[in-house]
């Protein structure tokens, strides 16, 4: 078995030495994803899509519990819509894909494949919203979107990806801002309790905000190489899109007013976050709540009397207990199976051998810590369910501890540079001007991720003028 494991490790690049190649290897070898025929596109394979389905389910329940309904808006947007909000077009025009021909004819107006749907949804809201009675409008859409990117990587940056985009309209500024924060909170709770990824939430700088937003709030997660992955955003759009698309309502006081809107989204990028936040040299490590298979049963010496029957019984019991379980009774060796399912990140492995059975026991292997222990066969469902819960909690806490160790403070450019080169997030003072933010990017390749809620610095790390904010800086995906 040791040999097989060695063979296996050879197949995945060294996580310490070549993190990007390790990522690509894990993506491909675990059959999460493949490259599509058009450059920059990806095929989400069943194992990857099953993770996405679990993510969708968990989020969808939360969106509905907070009063949102799903809807579906057309993918093709008239080019003229894109230009109605000045910042929006500037941000997105360079990366749109354009349909110019359809049904054998050239179109009178080119159509943009949605890079995001504020414009087309704004157009519909202006038809639907007439009175304060129609507000708030709280909708979400699960959809594909397209942003033509030069450099792409599966899940992290692809020309087409899957996401959800919430779009809400409100009578007052306060309400819209509250919604923006509420959904960021939903994302944070989800990221931590479902993905087991601790996140830092906060306001983005002007430079990093969404094109067309008044304010963007982001959720940043630390990957194992110390880089940050923006894992979700929530935008307060003020009346920018309301004015561009004439979304007005008759208020209680008898006057016509523009609505205030918000939008928020997360995408298949989260699968990339899962890989890079939890993975190790053996491959994926999936938190139980999103793992397509939560427990895999591997029979040892399966031909010996009673082993396969015992495995079938365990499988049935676990299914009844609501565990997503797989019995691997293929003709591969146990060692091969161990490697395969470890690589695929299955949280718990149940090893069932004839001697164990005689002793009324089985071995449980937990993927997150790569630890093995004996458990009684009697009442195994409960043990497995408890173990899955522990893994879920422990993964979050272990990721949090590892991250917290890698958040450091810096007082000047050199400090920021050495910190990010060491794979850290950096807290540094910032005067608030674009020049200093750009300079940090230029000198350290770190960008501002989010503003810290508290001011922890007296001066800007670049210009030395009084600091307006303490900012999280990091190199980012």
**Using rule CB under 8 A, residue 295 touches its own copies:** no
**Using rule CB under 8 A, residue 71 touches its own copies:** yes
Contacts of 201 (CB under 8 A, 6+ apart): 184, 187, 188, 217, 218, 219, 220, 450
Region binding its own copies by CB under 8 A among candidate stretches 18-26, 72-80, 256-264, 372-380: 72-80
**Using rule CB under 8 A, residue 360 touches its own copies:** no
CA 334 from centre of chain: 33
Which candidate, 144, 176, 179, places its Cα nearest to that of 242? 176
Residue number, 160 or 178, with CB nearest to its own copies = 160
H/E segment holding residue 122 = helix 118-128
Which candidate, 404, 426, 406, places its Cα nearest to that of 415? 426
Task: Classify the phi-psi angles of 352: left when phi > 0, otherwise alpha if psi is within -120 to 50, otherwise beta.
Answer: beta
Task: Give bridge partners of residue 426 from the DSSP assignment.
Answer: 408, 473
Contact with its own copies (CB under 8 A) among 5, 29, 78, 326: 78
Site string for its own copies, 382-421 (x = CB under 8 A): ----------------------------------------
The two tokens of residue 312 are 């079938």
Residue number, 95 or 173, with CB nearest to its own copies = 95
Distance in Å, CB of 61 to its own copies, minimum = 12
| Cα separation, 238 vs 124, whole angstroms | 18
**Using rule CB under 8 A, residue 326 touches its own copies:** no
Cα–Cα distance list, 253 to 131, 169, 203, 238 (Å): 11, 19, 33, 21
| Cα separation, 82 vs 171, whole angstroms | 24
Residue number, 139 or 200, with CB nearest to its own copies = 139
**Using rule CB under 8 A, residue 37 touches its own copies:** yes
Residues contacting its own copies: total by CB under 8 A: 55
> How many C-beta atoms surround the C-beta of residue 113 within 10 A?
18
Distance in Å, CB of 95 to its own copies, minimum = 6
**Using rule CB under 8 A, residue 163 touches its own copies:** no
**Using rule CB under 8 A, residue 164 touches its own copies:** no
Distance in Å, CB of 214 to its own copies, minimum = 25
Contact with its own copies (CB under 8 A) among 58, 134, 160, 225: 160
Binding residues for its own copies, rule: CB under 8 A, are 34, 36-38, 41-46, 49-50, 52-53, 69-78, 81, 93-104, 110-111, 113, 120, 123-124, 127-128, 139, 143-144, 146, 148-150, 159-160, 162
């Amino acid at each position: 078995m040791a040999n097989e494991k060695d063979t296996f490790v050879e197949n995945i690049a060294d996580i310490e030495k070549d993190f990007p190649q390790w990522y690509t290897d894990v993506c491909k070898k675990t059959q999460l994803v493949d490259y599509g025929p058009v450059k920059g596109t990806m095929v989400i394979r069943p194992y990857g899509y099953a993770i996405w389905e679990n993510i969708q389910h968990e989020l969808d329940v939360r969106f509905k519990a907070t009063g949102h309904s799903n809807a579906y808006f057309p993918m093709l947007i008239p080019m003229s819509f894109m230009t109605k909000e000045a910042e929006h077009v500037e941000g997105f025009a360079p990366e749109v894909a354009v349909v110019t021909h359809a049904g054998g004819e050239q179109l009178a107006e080119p159509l943009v494949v949605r890079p995001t749907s504020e414009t087309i949804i704004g157009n519909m809201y202006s038809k639907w919203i007439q009175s304060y009675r129609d507000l708030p409008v709280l909708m979400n859409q699960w959809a594909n979107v397209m942003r033509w990117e030069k450099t792409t990587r599966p899940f992290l940056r692809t020309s087409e990806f899957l996401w959800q985009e919430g779009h809400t309209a409100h009578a007052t500024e306060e309400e819209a801002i509250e919604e923006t924060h509420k959904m960021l909170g939903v994302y944070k709770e989800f990221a931590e309790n479902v993905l087991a990824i601790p996140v830092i939430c906060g306001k983005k700088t002007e430079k990093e905000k969404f094109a067309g937003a008044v304010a963007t709030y982001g959720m940043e997660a630390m990957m194992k190489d110390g880089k940050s992955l923006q894992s979700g955003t929530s935008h307060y759009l003020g009346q920018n899109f309301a004015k561009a698309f004439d979304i007005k309502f008759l208020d209680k006081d008898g006057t016509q007013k523009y609505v205030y809107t918000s939008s928020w989204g997360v995408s298949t990028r989260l699968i990339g976050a899962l890989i890079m936040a939890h993975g190790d040299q053996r491959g994926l490590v999936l938190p139980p709540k999103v793992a397509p298979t939560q427990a895999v049963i591997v029979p040892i010496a399966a031909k010996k009397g009673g082993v396969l029957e015992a495995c079938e019984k365990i499988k049935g019991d676990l299914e009844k207990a609501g565990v997503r379980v797989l019995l691997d009774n293929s003709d591969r060796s146990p060692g091969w199976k161990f490697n395969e399912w470890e690589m695929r990140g299955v949280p718990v492995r149940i090893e069932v051998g004839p001697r164990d059975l005689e002793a009324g026991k089985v071995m449980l292997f937990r993927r997150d810590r790569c630890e093995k222990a004996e458990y009684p066969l009697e009442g195994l469902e409960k043990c497995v369910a408890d173990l899955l819960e522990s893994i879920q909690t422990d993964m979050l806490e272990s990721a949090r501890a590892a991250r917290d160790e890698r958040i450091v403070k810096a007082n000047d450019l050199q400090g920021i540079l050495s910190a990010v080169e060491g794979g850290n997030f950096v807290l540094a003072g910032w005067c608030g001007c674009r020049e200093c933010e750009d300079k940090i990017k230029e000198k350290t390749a770190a960008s501002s991720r989010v503003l810290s809620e508290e001011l922890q610095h007296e001066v800007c790390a670049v210009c030395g003028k009084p600091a307006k904010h303490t900012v999280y800086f990091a190199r980012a995906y």
